[in-house]
Amino acid sequence: LGTVPDYRVLTASEPAELQSLASGLSGLDVFLFSGRFATAEGKAMREQLRREFPGLEAVQIDGASPSKVAAWLGELASARAAAVPAGVPVVLGDYELREKRRSLPRTDTFRAVQRAVNREVVLERLKPEFAADEGAVRDFRALVRARAAVDCPVIAAVYEVQERDGAVFYTRELVNGRSLAEIRAAGQRIPAVNALQVLHGAADALGWLGSRRIPRESFTPAHVFHGEDGTVRVANLAA
């Protein structure tokens, strides 16, 4: 499957490894699993993945030949329609929602385009059922303020927060490249000189947050991104 240009294949050998990997993914389309993930723990994890990644296909493939799996994936890819689900406005303010990538308990995340400047961004929106909840809105605004105050060249930037048409959302930089967790799960390595750049970038980001005593979320390999051009970016972890 890894030889097919359209596929980005990641692997995990245990449920705990899968959970760590999934925490840093912006999207997941298909989960192919063996009997090791058919346990009660594996079933609970599949349900969690389905909640976080809308439209996820989960299929047990023990005994299926690689060619059969590849053929099924090809049929699935052909059959999939537009990624933004029904009921979600295609346009929100100046942003055109292109693809729903993740759903968390209180927020939905989309890949979007800011039409005025034709810039791809990540748009994270408070779910409609929480838009009238004063506490949820207050917490969401506080999180956005904390992340918008981060001004470190290595850390992904927050662009703006808006309240339009009853929706509360903010946009942030769309980070190019793959996280260290994704690179590891793909069974790949990066050259030593790039690994040194990654260490410097991660240290700069954590040092910047620490020197300013900014609270942050837990830091994992899923939050460090290595671009094809060698650039290093760190997810905005301000909390």
Note the pLDDT tens digit of each residue in 105-133.
889 898 899 988 989 999 999 998 898 89
Sequence letter at residue 101: R
Q: pLDDT-based confidence at 87, cuts 50/70/90?
A: low
Mean pLDDT taken over the chain: 85
Confidence at residue 82, expressed as pLDDT on a 0 to 100 scale:
42
Q: pLDDT-based confidence at 81, cuts 50/70/90?
A: very low
Residue 155 has pLDDT above 90, yes or no: yes
Per-residue pLDDT reduced to its tens digit, 34-69: 887 777 788 888 888 888 887 788 888 887 888 888
CB atoms within 10 A of CB 235: 21
Confidence at residue 137, expressed as pLDDT on a 0 to 100 scale:
92
Q: Which residues contact 125 (CB under 8 A, 6 or more apart)?
A: 92, 107, 108, 109, 110, 167, 168, 169
More confident position, 25 or 133 = 133
Residue 197 has pLDDT above 80, yes or no: yes
pTM of the entire structure?
A: 0.69
Residue 72 has pLDDT above 90, yes or no: no
Q: Sign of torsion, CA 145 109 50 36?
A: negative
Confidence at residue 238, expressed as pLDDT on a 0 to 100 scale:
94
Confidence at residue 73, expressed as pLDDT on a 0 to 100 scale:
84
CA 232 to chain centre: 17
More confident position, 159 or 24 = 159
Q: DSSP states of 160-179 as a string?
A: EEEEETTEEEEEEE---SEE
Residue 236 has pLDDT above 80, yes or no: yes
